[in-house]
Structure formats: C-alpha cells, structure tokens
Chains A and B, each alone.
Chain A
C-alpha cells in the first residue's frame, strides 16, 4: 500500500470532506465504483477521506446520488506542486540557479589545511602547493593531488611522505617529516653510571677501557673518529654496578585499642538511606562501629526496612612493640621494592647483601646493597654544528 500511495502522490490526491445526511452511502457507492478511497475519519457531522485527483470528479457525481456535498479540503501531490510552480516561473528559475551555483561552489577549493609539519613551515608548504596549482578558489577538477604531492616531496627533502585529499571544499595536505633516531647520531660511547667494566665489545671506534677497570659516569668508553670520516663509536660495555638503599623502621607500631567507653544509636535503614532515631553519631574522636539488626520488615524486597542498634566504641592508639625480625622484614621488603624500581630490566643480579643498624632506641635500620651486571654505555652525540649532515 505505501507504494500505491507513492503512485497517488504522482497523480495527485485530495482530502475530501463529505457533509450531508448519509455519507456512508457515498462511501459504499465509491467502493462499488472501484474508486480508491482511504484514511476515513469523522468530525463535526462530516466524514473526511482521501481520494485521487482523477477520481474526484466521479465522486462528485456519486455524491449527488447519495445526496451528500463533497468539498476539497486539502490538495497533495505533484500536479498541485507543478501548478504552483507554473504560476511562479521566477521561483523555479531561482531554484535552478541556486542549485547550479551550489554545485559550482562545491567544485572549488575554499580553504587549505596543513597537518603533520613541525620543522617545515606551513607557509613553505602552501607556497609549494600553490605553485602546483592548489590555491583557495582553484577548481578541484583541474587539480592533480599526485602532482602536488610530488612537488612537495621534491621541494622539501625534509618530508618523507605527503598526501593531498579533499574534504568537501577543504583541501587537506598531510605530511610526515623525516626523523633521525638519536642513537644514530655519531658520537662517543660514554658511561651512564659508575661501575667496574667486565666486558667490552667494539663494533666501531677505539676502546678506551679494559675489563677490570673502574669507570665513573661520563667517562668515555669507546671513542669515535670525529675527523673527516666522522664515524661514530658503536659497541657494548658491560660493567658491575652497585645500588644501595637505606630504610628505617619503627619498632613501635600503633594499633587501635578500645577504651571501654561506648554509645548506642538507633538507626532506621531504608534501602540506601538511613535515619537516626535516637542517640548521637561521632561523639568520639576515634572509634569502631558495630551494627546489630533488631528487626526487618519486607525482607528481600526493594522496600526492606531495618531497625539497627549501632554501637560506637571509643578507641585510642596504643604503640605496640613489634619484634626485631618483623621490623627487619618490613625494612628489607621496602628496600627491595626501591631496588626493583631502580634496576633496569636488562640488568643481571650478581649479589645482594644487607646490614642491620640500630639508629636509636625503638628504631631499626637496614642498608641493602645490590650488585648487578648491566650495559652502561650510551652514545653522547658530537655537537651538531660540526655535523654537516646532522641538519
């Protein structure tokens, strides 16, 4: 039926109001005649229904037989739209002009956006794009994104990738600049921390240290050739390193102890809300709470109602002496956590030792010393001013 109604829209259809004594008869006559009628409703002694425009004349004849008076209340569909348009030719002309203008404007480039540039300025990129034809106002059909991309990559060797595309009337130039990892910059391999060298593997450059030698952070381990060849040092230097952590623990650990004073409060709990019926909350600075349900109504339902006896027990903090072993265990655990945070994942644990110290009465201290074997070499690049390729 919806398809049929779409057909009626093309033919045109009307809302007819039928007044008179017997509109039902008119409906029956329409049905017998095979007229398409639908959407009946009644109001103010009249019957309203829809019928197609070509059949309306026939309905007027039938209405005379049924002694009814039909009136057209509303008109729908293409024929009526067309008749309105015919009466206003300028309106149609303007609509066509606007549509043509809209299509023409949508075919142009209104603005240009550059994304992804950091070192290459947006002005340079836009200038190169303009030389390839991409300017505000340029027709999209005359532009070749691949030619613009090629021009950008040729003009700016700092760019490694360029992509030009359109989002409606916005031209977007996306670029990716070349990045040189810091490790690739030529330089010397230096010690990043103190240690005793255990092994040296040189890939390029001159080793300045030997196994068994003690080095400090910043010492040069492998030297590169900063002359004309400008060959950076590369290699691995493994050394024995030390980590030391000092931790103190109190032998007295405060715990809450009830003083014997208490107060009782009657509370009515309804769902998540509570109402204090008698007594005062929080009269102690430190306290523990215990609830004792007295009775419950509507148990297991959303309206569950519970009367509670809530007792507040006053507490005070009493230092309790812990054993030396417990204090030592706490200090060692805390010290190990610090070491684990500091130690690189590639480091290999060689030795672990600790000494216990008594700082003062009631305080115990632990000094944890860990030795590990790890890579300590890091490239320190030569100053960029002496590197003609360095940018």
Chain B
C-alpha cells in the first residue's frame, strides 16, 4: 500500500489528539486509534516504514506515539 498515504493518514490522526492537554492521553489515543481501526496490512506497512526509514514523513507526536507503544504493531 502507498506508504505516503498511510503516513498522511497517521498525521491526520495525530493532529486531532495533539490538541489534548494530557500528553499521555494523546499518545495513547494515537496508537490505539491505529490499532483499533487499521487493518493489519496497513499497520504492517507503517511498521516497516518505521523500521526501514527515518520516520521523517510522520509528525513528531505520531512518531512518539508509535515508538512509545508496541501494542499497535502486527
């Protein structure tokens, strides 16, 4: 699947949660949203992108959320 499209979707999710005053809640919200709504091949693609790339296409909070939690991974 198109990695650029997936990172863009992840950043959109990040933008919603980033406004939360509780940073931990926001981080958990991002990774849990991806776990609960993204089909495994989409998560796998994102996972591979993180493993093999520098994550530059991801916003700071999304990168932090995905690195802080393994639960979303396939």
The answer on A and B forming one complex is no
B-side residues, CB < 8 A to A, are: none
A-side residues, CB < 8 A to B, are: none
